[in-house]
Copies of this chain bind each other. A is one copy, B any other.
């Protein structure tokens, strides 16, 4: 185990519900049993007050930190989770679970339907971000945690963090939604719809019943290529690729001439090997359905003492800072303590994965500010933003 790394991690499974004890989804459909794949690092303290739930983005999984036996690539947020890191596993008990509907160990379209003995495929019920969170709540219950110190995530992970507070405010002491939104704009829906059409337009998709034949690789690969363009920024692509040619000149053919073309083809191809096409359809749909705008966010009139750190990145054009400001404004309206930081970055939406230093500083300061004992209701800010993180160079949310 190297310094600052959590070392080997193992994916565990938690299964609940069953034929007589099904989970009712937001669509009204029922499902059971449900398995969640999850990993933990650090130790849960005696009063169970140091648990942090990390929620993953679209194609993420439960393996957020450390290494799996025999593998050389660490978890997807290893840079932020570990001893001494932003989510300091010497202090916190960190949980990350794969979402329901996914394909990384949690029940999803590629899982075996107990009624047929075959993969669910499109018989799998459509899920929402609300369902993802409700199902995660069962896991948190199972782990014996009444109140989470923090719920954290970037992109779709941030949606889950917002959803957690919206539905279970009393169970979340703080939330860190990063590079995310209260709802998808039509442009975000449009990109997801093209992604879905690319998959569904591939004859190898076979209306979702491709499990005996292999993935719809052309469609899924193109879908992921579209995604990668939106995850990067014009600036980061200029830095990384510019107009560099693979072979020094134009080929005057349909082969890839430019390095950026080769990169996209590679990312598309490798995604096919690691992610289920139907899960991609289901999860993008869940993101498009997500809507906590207006009165849908934190409904009711109860006082909420969850504290917020909202982070966005200057070059993120997929989840632009304006959407994070919408979150901050909604919090202000509900008189909820929020720190907002827009970090300078050229990395586009990928910044939440790669901007380690600034995020670490912000998150450490923020987590330090969460009181050791739960705040009494009513004690928090009176309608103004708290800019408690001195390092924050960003504009004020509601100002």
Contacts and interface: CB of A to CB of B under 8 A. Distances in A.
A285 B252 CA distance: 8
B256 A193 contact: yes
Interface in A352-383: none
A185 interface: yes
A326 interface: no
A242 B122 CA distance: 28
A252 B339 CA distance: 35
A182 to B, nearest CB: 11
Contact of A193 (B29, B200, B225, B234): B225
Interface residues of A, number: 57
Interface string A238-254: 10111100000010111
Secondary structure type dominating chain A contacts? helix
A189 B257 CA distance: 10
Interface string A20-51: 00000001010000000000000000000000
A302 to B, nearest CB: 27
B125 A260 contact: no
A86 interface: no
Contacts of A237: 185-187, 190
Contacts of A242: 186
Interface in A272-296: 281, 285, 288-289, 291
A201 interface: yes
A309 B219 CA distance: 42
B221 A264 contact: no
B243 A225 contact: no
Interface of A: 27, 29, 122, 125-126, 183-187, 189-191, 193-194, 196-198, 200-203, 218-219, 221-222, 225-226, 228-229, 232, 234, 237-238, 240-243, 250, 252-254, 256-258, 260-261, 264-265, 268, 281, 285, 288-289, 291, 317, 320
